Structure 1
Amino acid sequence: MVKQERAARTRRSLIHAAAEVFAEVGFVPATLNVISARAGVSNGALHFHFANKAMLAEAVEAEAAETMHRLTEAARGRHGDSLQALVDAMHALLGALADDIVVRAGFELAGDVARRAHSPLRQEWQRWVEDRLRRAERTGALAEGVSWKDAACVVVAVTAGLEVLGGQDISWLSRQSVSRVWALLLPLLTDQRAPGALVSAGSRSPATALRAQPQLTQPEM
């Protein structure tokens, strides 16, 4: 059991170190020597867990996908088919891109054309967004004349744009930035008759709200 726990810790350290290096220099320039040194393990230990750099990249992407799945399902669990689930999920995903090096590296690997590998990470987000908006249309949550396909194109494109811009300036990934986007989108997407029924700033758990408080420019309502 002790040996298994040690192996699991080593594997996690290698994935985290690989994410750091991939995020810093990209997939092609990254070397296994640098990754193993960053993780504080020998090259032999690295090769015990990962045969090559491609497998390490796949592990980073898999962990990023698992985090994204956990965040989106948490939003769905709180709000069901409401558009608030989509608002909260985008806030959570972009927050993870800002705070979680593995998520950030996973998405950067997904967009790295030099890597020459297919990644389903962005497609998984697109499918989740499409499913949420398809359900919103079915329940009458979308405004008259707004199709779920058009809405999904906008939401996915905006998410990708913020992700790319956030790689150069992290303020694009801030709650304020995402809130401004939803403040513009929500009145276009829904015939919302009850002001405040949908919250562009996202509905958060107390723990998340406390963690984000230093970044806020205005007090929470």
Structure 2
Amino acid sequence: MVKQERAARTRETLIRAAAEVFAEQGFVTASIAAISRRAGVSAGGLHFHFENKTVLARAVEDRAAQALRRVTTERWGGVAASSAAVDGNALQVLVDSSHALLALLAADVVVRAAFLLCADVSRRSAIDLRRQWRLWVEAVTRAAARQGVLADGLSPQDAAGVVVAATVGLEALGARDGDWLAPHALTRFWTLTLPRLAADGALGGLVAEGSAGEAGAGRGSLT
């Protein structure tokens, strides 16, 4: 048992070290030697746990995919993106999920690195985190339309496109400048955008900073 626990800790150390190196140098430039040095593990020890750099990158992506599911589907009662039977105002769910995503990107280098890996044209990623996020946003905007809280004449697809473009843009910019991942950056986006997304009468209850428990919560609604 002790040996298994030590092996599990070593794997986690290697995954985090790989994420840090991938985030700093990119997949192509990152080397096994740099990752093993960062982790404080010999190259032989690294290869015992991970066959090569590609396998390590997949492990980073797997960890990030799990984290992303926790701030989307699992966060809202295990709701699947295909159905999105959202409990509560779907637009507020979308705001809160986006704040949770950017907070996760700011706090967790594994998630930041995985998003970069998924966008790296030099390799074929088995997991597309940006697509995973897009599917969730599209599902929630469809739920908003069903609830009648989406602005009249606005298609869920168009609404989702705007939100995905903005949040993925902040993610990409935040890879080099963490200020783009700060809550105020996303709050500004929602403050400007929600009046165009929300139906008449639905705007007053929405909180651009995120509702209770989210970054910047408790600052009031958009009225």
TM-score (structure 2 length as normaliser)? 0.88
Contact 2:148 2:199 in 1 (8 A): no
Cα distance change, pair 150–220 in 1 and its aligned pair in 2 (3 A): closer
Which runs of structure 2 are paired with 1:1-221 in the superposition (5 Å)?
A: 1-73=1-73, 75-77=75-77, 80=87, 82=89, 83-193=91-201, 196-205=204-213, 220-221=219-220
Letter in 2 for 1:53: K
More helix by share: 1
1:32 is displaced (CA, Å) by 0.8
Contact 1:98 1:170 in 2 (8 A): yes
Contact 1:81 1:135 in 2 (8 A): no
Question: Among the aligned pairs, what percent are the same residue?
Answer: 54
1:4 is displaced (CA, Å) by 1.1
1:136 is displaced (CA, Å) by 1.2
Cα distance change, pair 29–71 in 1 and its aligned pair in 2 (3 A): same
Report the Cα distance in structure 1 between the residues aligned to 2:183 and 2:119, rounded to whole angstroms.
23
> What secondary structure sits across from 1:114 in the alignment?
coil
Report the Cα distance in structure 2 between the residues aligned to 1:143 and 1:199, rounded to whole angstroms.
17
Report the Cα distance in structure 2 between the residues aligned to 1:68 and 1:41, rounded to whole angstroms.
28
1:177 is displaced (CA, Å) by 0.7
Cα distance change, pair 194–118 in 1 and its aligned pair in 2 (3 A): closer
- The alignment yields a C-alpha RMSD, in angstroms, of 2.1
- The residue number in structure 2 matching 1:216 is none
Aligned residues: 212
Report the Cα distance in structure 2 between the residues aligned to 1:132 and 1:81, rounded to whole angstroms.
11
Contact 1:75 1:85 in 2 (8 A): no
Letter in 2 for 1:91: H
Q: Deviations over 1:125-153 (max 9, x none)?
A: 01111111111111212111011011111
Report the Cα distance in structure 2 between the residues aligned to 1:26 and 1:178, rounded to whole angstroms.
26
Q: Would you identify which runs of 4 or more consecutive aligned residues in structure 1 move more than 3 Å?
A: 116-119
Identify the range of structure 1 (140-149 vs 186-195) with the bigger mean alpha-carbon deviation.
186-195
Contact 2:194 2:203 in 1 (8 A): no
> Is there any run of 5+ residues in structure 1 with no aligned partner, and where?
214-218
Contact 2:174 2:180 in 1 (8 A): yes
Contact 1:75 1:86 in 2 (8 A): no
Contact 1:134 1:148 in 2 (8 A): yes
Report the Cα distance in structure 2 between the residues aligned to 1:60 and 1:81, rounded to whole angstroms.
33
Cα distance change, pair 159–81 in 1 and its aligned pair in 2 (3 A): same
Report the Cα distance in structure 1 between the residues aligned to 2:204 and 2:14, rounded to whole angstroms.
45
Cα distance change, pair 148–194 in 1 and its aligned pair in 2 (3 A): closer
1:118 is displaced (CA, Å) by 4.8
TM-score (structure 1 length as normaliser)? 0.89
